[in-house]
Amino acid sequence: MKTIYLDNNATTQVALEVLEAMLPYFHDLYGNPSSMHSFGGQVGRKIREARESAAALIGAAPDEVIFTSCGTESDNAAIRSALLTQPEKRHIVTSRVEHPAIKALCAHLAEQGYRVTELPVDGEGRLDMEQYKRSLTPDTAIVSLMWANNETGVIFPIEAAAQLARARGILFHTDAVQAVGKIPIDMSKSAVSMLSISGHKLHAPKGVGVLYVRKGTRFSPFLIGGHQERSRRGGTENTPGIIGLGKACELAAQHMETENTKVKALRDRLENELLTRVPNSRVNGDRVNRLPNTSNISFEFVEGEGILLMMDEYGICASSGSACTSGSLQPSHVLRAMGVPFTMAHGSIRFSLSIYNTDEEVDFVIDKLPPIIETLRSMSPYWRTGERACGTA
């Protein structure tokens, strides 16, 4: 059975070009990039090339790129550095729809006495910029807002938010894990202080990421050890992963137009057909200002977990907006923050496409999913009694 993979916001397939670039550094070219000898030196040169590629993708200078193990480490390093370099400031501004890498860290810091402001979003997942302005105070050490939401794809006005923070002398971090490689980003024209990237979201391997730190930004290392990364992140470099990420960044720059044309068209066709064929369904989030690959659709009075299990029988991979699979009866914190009706939020499915998806795969999902929803609804007592939630489409 063929796998139809529509869960690319969770992780992506490693591109063949990336794999080929990495392979020599697992066995033949195994030297330590920090070594003085030429065997290790050639590895060091490849890391420098990867750094240049990662910087070019986001319009940064190579020395503003710090290689990390993942987006979560990058997020933690950015926020903790802002607090350590400004011990007199005790306030953090973020949003209610952040990734757990930010949300859980801020909850942990709140327990340690920091004050955290979580900005709300509206029913389309959009940030209230007036409330954001009012949240900034002289005590604010850092603002951390995601560039694009991992569940809905909704894009925040990061450039405007960063400008407002900088005008008040406040550091600004963005978790850009979902945005990098899908939409243009140019740090040379931005007020963003720090930015996080995760390799496995853009067809590089798992276990490698980037933290961009703008030149001149005071930075306290999260991992203290050797002199690696200009003493900003200790530990021997994950050479194959870094080289793979560099190649993936090159490919992402080449494929940006495809993301915003072919992938977007596939996403729109999948979404529109499902909304047409399945009654009482709705798209969650701003349908205009979002990533080109992401669609979060709710199907009323069915459980997302049931939809995923039945789709899996056909080899279709997606994600649920509900946390049921993690043992919770509560829907996604993102959908709850948006005020999505409970009976809709529980039946939400996130489809996230990539450049490797095809028309035939989308046709297959369009054919198989409506009967799945019909079957699940036939077993739902709420559906049979004709109850409906407010705000359905």
Residues with a catalytic annotation lie at 324
What CA–CA distance (Å, rounded) separates 379 from 347? 14
DSSP 297: E
Is the distance from CB of 322 to CB of 332 less than 8 angstroms? yes
Sequential DSSP letters for 88-154: T--EEEEETT--HHHHHHHHHHHHTT-EEEEE-B-TTS-B-HHHHHHH--TTEEEEE--SB-TTT-B
Tell how strand 294-299 and strand 281-283 pair up: antiparallel
E runs forming strands in the chain: 4-5, 65-68, 91-95, 115-119, 140-144, 171-175, 194-198, 209-213, 281-283, 294-299, 316-317, 319-320, 348-352
Place of tokens 């003085």: 36
Q: Are 83 and 109 in contact (CB under 8 A)?
A: yes
**Any idea how long the chain is?**
393
CA separation for the pair 241, 239 (Å, rounded): 5
Is residue 321 within 8 A of residue 331, CB to CB? The reply is yes
